Chains A and B, each alone.
Chain A
Amino acid sequence: MHGALHVATTGMSAQDTNLKVISNNLANVSTVGFKKDRAVFEDLLYQTRRQPGAESGADSQLPSGLQTGVGVRTVATQKMFEVGDIQVTDESFDVAITGAGFIQVALPDGNIAYTRNGQLGIDGENRLVTAEGFLVEPAITLPSEVTSFTISNNGTVTVTTAAGGPEAPQQIGVLELANFVNAQGLQPIGQNLFTESAASGAPTNAIPGTDGTGFLKQGALETSNVNAVEELVNMIQTQRAYEINSKVISTADQMLQYVNQNL
């Protein structure tokens, strides 16, 4: 009926998606280990209505044709993996990762997920778990009556117990980190967790501090990397772009209405 109607519809739905992404980022502005998303747009495709150089008559050619675009498309949402600020909490079960690595988590279904959220804890069976209660992989079980709990820069977990006393620290495991060729390809599944996908490639496990995984920092957490100011600016832009596209729809509608009333 009117091409501009459908074109503006794609514009509005793209801005709608953008607002959803922005609001999710803002909602997670204080989620530990959260990585912001960004919607990426591209122009859809072009229809050639008149070919440039086509014959317009005997011995004459069109110098330029008419190609009309059909709107915009959301190609992808990209996770932005910049490291957030490190916030010191002095809580011994908090760890922050200073590089690109991920803590490995065993999901209840047996699969492995990856997280940047280092808010760890222990469950009823003295095992090291995430805030959600999922086991950290490789599993680390604490002995009973722990008096101090230390995670070193390179992931070694050491405890002292009431029975052994402060002069007999025990090394009970190593917190290994996973690294990906293309971390942006990881699939976010919520709960601060990511799973491996065809785009991310297989993980390579490493001791913290090697292979670009980054060191561990006990007693600190990585804050969300959402920048509230940036998101609010994006929100203003999104709202105005949405309004402009709805203006296009109403203009196209008025044109059609005029035809209906006058012919």
Chain B
Amino acid sequence: MTGLVLLIPIALLCGLVALCAFFLALRSGQYDDLDGAAMRMLADGEDE
């Protein structure tokens, strides 16, 4: 029982963190230009 009291909140917290991370990524526009993102990693790095 004590194990459960500790482990279940940890499991839920991990899930919540992932959910928040997804929301942050969505909000910052990381999914707005998927084709561009796939290409930008091939750039030589002169920009930025």
Instruction: Answer yes or no: do A and B interact.
Output: no
Question: A residues bordering B, Cβ < 8 Å?
Answer: none
Chain B positions near chain A (C-beta within 8 angstroms): none
